[in-house]
A = this chain, B = another copy of it.
Amino acid sequence: MSTEPATRRGRATRDRILAAAAELIAANGVGTLRLDDVERAAGVGRSQLYHYFANRDDLVNSVVQSTIDTVLAAQEPLLVGLDSIEGIDCWFDDIVANGLRGDGLGGCPIGTLARQLSEHDDVSRSAFVEAFARWEAPLIEGLSRMQANGRLNADADVVELADLTMAAIQGGILLAQVRRKPDQLRLALRGARAALVAATPAGISAT
């Protein structure tokens, strides 16, 4: 069974396993993750793995959860300012800057993992649904505030606008990764921005 560590040392070991597994997954994907490699990378034995995690799936799920938490926590500061086009631009810039490594890889672990797992794994799929929702919520709130003070058309559907923004982010990362062209993400976000701007009273703005 999966056991929470009871000592400082145990906690450190568990964290090391988690970090090593996360890195391997980020580098090579979930499917090819081997426990042998995790052990070597974390410098632990087989028995540790099964001391802290019930089985391979449990380990993967734990990585997923902690990854989601980390990513969302890192974004938190920016998420409160999503109540103006300028604030959203800042957020987009941050996503472009930090969402990908230079080679167009490594971006948004949430989307990357979701793409690999949600196919046939219903457990983690729902975890991603929740993660997306948590990520999207601040945007919906921000857009709602914009609507409240007249910076967004009254007839705009904020949820739909937020949804299409999320789609643009994920699609941009996907194309950037497959094509190895980080710029694709920036372009995708420009599309979402156009849709947002089109829903403002000003209507059009410079791209």
Interface centre among A169, A184, A195 (most CB of B within 10 A): A195
Please measure, in the bound complex, the distance between the C-alpha atom of A111 and the C-alpha atom of B172, giving whole angstroms. Answer: 12
Alpha-carbon separation in the docked complex, A207 to B203 (Å): 12
> Given A163-B184, A168-B191, A192-B191, do A175 and B132 touch, yes or no (CB 8 Å)?
yes
Q: How far is the CB of A134 from chain B (nearest CB, A)?
A: 13
Is there a chain B Cβ closer than 8 Å to A129's Cβ? yes
Interface residues in A164-207 by Cβ distance below 8 A to B read 164-172, 174-175, 177-179, 184-185, 187-188, 190-195, 197-198, 203-204, 207
Q: Does A62 contact B (CB under 8 A)?
A: no
List chain B residues, Cβ under 8 A from A168.
Answer: 164, 167-168, 171, 188, 191
A56 at the A/B interface (Cβ < 8 Å)? no
Query: Which of B166, B177, B187 sits near A164, CB closer than 8 Å?
Result: B187
Nearest B residue (CB) for A166: B175
* CB-based contact A164/B179 at 8 Å: no
Query: Which DSSP category, helix, strand, loop or mixed, fits chain A's interface?
Result: helix
Asked whether any CB of chain B lies closer than 8 Å to the CB of A118, the reply is: yes
Give the residue of B31, B174, B187, B193 whose beta carbon is less than 8 angstroms from that of A174.
Answer: B174
Residue of B nearest to A116 (CB): B116
Contact pick for A171, options B170, B178, B195, CB 8 Å: B170
Looking at chain A, what size class is its interface with the partner chain? Answer: 35 or more
CA distance A171 to B132 in the complex (A): 13
Complex interface residues of chain A between 39 and 88 (CB less than 8 A to chain B): none
Contact B167 A129 (CB under 8 A): no
- Asked if A174 and B132 make an inter-chain contact with CB atoms under 8 angstroms apart, the answer reads no
B174-A188 in contact (CB<8A): no
Q: Which of B128, B190, B193 contacts A178 (CB 8 A)?
A: B128
Q: Verify if A8 is at the interface (C-beta below 8 Å from B).
A: no
Residues of A within 8 A of B (CB): 28-29, 31-32, 111-112, 114-116, 118-120, 125, 128-129, 132, 160, 163-172, 174-175, 177-179, 184-185, 187-188, 190-195, 197-198, 203-204, 207
